[in-house]
Amino acid sequence: MGKGFTMTRVTYETPEKSSFLFNMVLLLVPIYVGRIQELIPSLERFSIAKIAMVISLFAYLQNKSKYIDSFNDFKQIPQSRYITVIMVLALIGIPFSDWPGGSIDVFEGFLKMLLFIYLLVKCVNTEEKLLMVIRAYCLSALALATVALISPYDTLGRIYVSSTYDPNDLALILTISLPLLFYLQEDSKGGMRLLLIATMGIIAVVVLKTGSRGGFVTLIAVTAMLLYQKGARYALKCLPFFLVFAAIIVVNSPPEQLERMMTVFGVESSDPKNTPPESRTELWKLSWGVMMESPVFGCGLGQLTSANGRAAGGNWHTAHNAYLQIGAELGVAGLAAFIAMLVNSFKSLHSERFNFIRPWLADGVMASLFGLCVGSVFLSWAYQTGAYFIIAMTIIIHKLSLQNRRAYAG
């Protein structure tokens, strides 16, 4: 870590064999986050996500008594309470939604995702299991990046994979995996370390090939965060590598892609009258206006695109900003809960990292969380699985820290 941080190693952890329930929840990570079933077309018809979730729920209900302490810890953690607030606000806003039926459909999908997050938080009760979940996520990121390089979908020269992740989504879900990969490789040796370094390189290349400006900014942000965590000496030592890498990018990138990266906020004209209505700044103004028109209940879960369309005379676009998205759809209270959830996630990671055998787990999740916060400025990720997966990691770290402190005190 950078100046001001100290490292304390904790030498206790409750050993526990992986249960069937945990193994099923571990399988849900590449399914819900990595969308692995969408990378293999023949798998989509089997409804793997539904089958795996039903089996996981059945296994959980059969062993529910084992997780009572875990549930009590879950209730104490602020992030979990703010997730509940967001869920309740989404529900009570449905009758006031611009299209209640559409909001109900989005709410059903949101609940399914939160069910996965709930099972994940409940089942990860040791540091070793958390490490396994992180590895599953990184393996999913490698699968996404590999398929994106070998057999991508293409839209105007921008690559993506799966029906869930467009180029912008793909860039962010991959970028926020990089800090975890970085610390995993630092904790590894030999061939595994080389494989993890290669994975980071592949992901960086794919992020650039998506042509996502938000992904590009997030890539810079997580890199800066990692360098800050490692300290000034490490940053200076890595500077030549980053300069060479940047030069390779500039030389090998098509001119149109470089021009796109230079317009991060979607503004290509200095004259406001010539600014296209789909530019990010214009969409942010529209979304802000929608939030101000209905600050209490918002326009309804999943209804910002139609609200923006009416405000812009038929120009149907989403906010391209998670903060404005949730503020416009769930009202000011929804925005406040979302920000509070993120702030408390940072607080948990900063204060609880000292209670682990591997403090880098908290450091890696913190850098990923920072990337999520930056990327959310450019993407409508207020209800995305990838966002709540990172939040779940912060809840798990807080929960494990509480358990470790009790073990130490007892």
pLDDT digits (tens, 9 = 90+) for 157-184: 788 888 889 999 999 999 999 999 999 9
Quote helix, strand, coil % in the chain, to nearest 5.
75, 0, 25
Containing 159, the helix (H) or strand (E) segment is strand 158-160
Question: Per-residue confidence at 68, pLDDT binned at 50, 70, 90?
Answer: low
d(CA 128, CA 358): 10
d(CA 2, CA 235): 10
Residue 122, CA atoms < 13 Å, CB-side half-sphere: 23
pLDDT exceeds cutoff 60 at 257: yes
Containing 158, the helix (H) or strand (E) segment is strand 158-160
Look at the block and give the residue holding tokens 């965060």.
Answer: 225
What pLDDT does 265 receive? 56
- Structural tokens at position 182: 């970085």
- Structural tokens at position 94: 């449905």
More confident residue, 247 or 91: 91
pLDDT exceeds cutoff 80 at 15: no
pLDDT exceeds cutoff 70 at 341: yes
Helices 100-123 & 20-28, crossing angle to 10 degrees?
130
d(CA 330, CA 8): 41
Residue 389, CA atoms < 13 Å, CB-side half-sphere: 25
Domain ranges of the chain: 20-409
d(CA 371, CA 177): 9
What pLDDT does 262 receive? 66
Average the pLDDT over 195-217 and give the result. 91
Average the pLDDT over 61-79 and give the result. 75
CA angle 288–290–296, rounded 5-degree value:
100
Average the pLDDT over 374-395 and give the result. 97
Mean pLDDT of the chain: 86
For residues 398 and 79, the answer to whether their CB atoms sit within 8 Å is yes
Average the pLDDT over 266-284 and give the result. 59
What pLDDT does 71 receive? 58
What pLDDT does 274 receive? 43
For residues 256 and 157, the answer to whether their CB atoms sit within 8 Å is yes
pLDDT exceeds cutoff 80 at 123: yes
Average the pLDDT over 119-143 and give the result. 95
Whole-angstrom CA distances from 99 to 94, 226, 305 are 8, 43, 11
Q: Which of 52-56, 354-358, 360-364 has the weakest average pLDDT?
A: 354-358
Helices 190-209 & 167-175, crossing angle to 10 degrees?
150
What pLDDT does 66 receive? 73
Q: Over the stretch 289-330, which tens digit does the pLDDT of each residue have?
A: 999 999 999 999 999 988 887 766 666 678 889 999 999 999
Closest CA to 179 of 385, 374, 401: 374
The rounded percent of the chain whose pLDDT value lies above 70 is 83
Average the pLDDT over 73-102 and give the result. 92
d(CA 39, CA 42): 9
CA angle 14–16–143, rounded 5-degree value:
110
d(CA 326, CA 333): 9
Look at the block and give the residue holding tokens 């999908």.
Answer: 109
Residues 6+ apart with CB under 8 A from 393: 130, 133, 134, 365, 368
Q: Over the stretch 211-242, which tens digit does the pLDDT of each residue have?
A: 898 999 999 999 999 999 999 888 888 888 77
Question: Per-residue confidence at 354, pLDDT binned at 50, 70, 90?
Answer: low
pLDDT exceeds cutoff 60 at 127: yes
Containing 155, the helix (H) or strand (E) segment is strand 153-155
**What is the number of other CB atoms lying within 10 angstroms of the CB of residue 402?**
18
